[in-house]
Amino acid sequence: MKKLDKPVVKKILDRLEDLSQKPTLGSPLSGNLSELRKLNIYHHKTEYRIVYRAVDSRGEIHIIHIGTRENFYNELKRRS
């Protein structure tokens, strides 16, 4: 997140706080990534995604990847 603009980082941090309160907020991914969920964030016509795994009902989540939509799934598959 060091390379992102401050307003984008603020939006991402706000959404992460939302996720800690409601881990099922994002949409489930499909196929071999079905154990993961995604949450989209839009900023100046650019779509960012947070991909995470909801660990339990207490709000614990594991962030897998945060980035733009472009080349997102290739990067995600490489990391998971």
Residue type, 5: D
Cβ contacts of residue 28 below 8 Å, gap of 6+? Answer: 34, 36, 37, 38
Q: What is the CATH number of the domain that holds 62?
A: 3.30.2310.20
* 2 confidence band (pLDDT: 50, 70, 90): low
At residue 65, the pLDDT reads 86
Domain of residue 22 covers: 6-79
Q: Does residue 67 lie within any of the structural domains?
A: yes
At residue 40, the pLDDT reads 92
pLDDT digit string, tens, across residues 25-40: 889 999 888 899 999 9
Indicate whether 55 pLDDT > 90. Answer: no
Domain count for the chain: 1
The model's pTM: 0.79
Question: Who has greater pLDDT, 3 or 49?
Answer: 49
What φ, ψ does residue 37 adopt, rounded to 5°? Answer: -125, 160
